[in-house]
Amino acid sequence: MTFLPQTETFEIHRPSLFRPDSSLLINSSRETAPHTLFTTIDTSGEESTETLDIRAWRDNSVLEVFVNGRTVISTRLYVAEETVGMRFFAEEDEASTTTVLRTSHTGLTELKFANLWDGIKV
């Protein structure tokens, strides 16, 4: 999953099958949706941008992702059993003159909270 603030786009990168002809069998192209982080100005004139809130649920090969409660992507991961593990990271676009990701008081992008649960058993 990737959020691109420059293009205001949220993407899900789906892995392809481990076969040379996988693109002929299954569409594993990226799923994308437009998403804007809202900027507000308080009564003192201070501007702030909302944080990026991602909630994702995976049940076998189905992945549902909700972004800030107003953008949703639902897709299938056809190689779900091979897609194990998760990593979190944030990068800033050094070419941009403004930062649209939430930054800490040090000016660095930071992960505020992550919660991973795995254990759906039948």
- Taking residue 73's Cβ as centre, other Cβ atoms within 10 Å add up to 19
Give the list of residues 6+ apart from residue 57 with CB closer than 8 angstroms, or none.
63, 64, 65
Candidate ranges 19-23, 35-39, 82-86, 118-122; pick with highest mean pLDDT = 35-39
Q: pLDDT grade, residue 99 (50/70/90)?
A: very low
The pTM of the full predicted model, rounded to 2 decimals, is 0.69
Mean pLDDT confidence for 42-65: 87
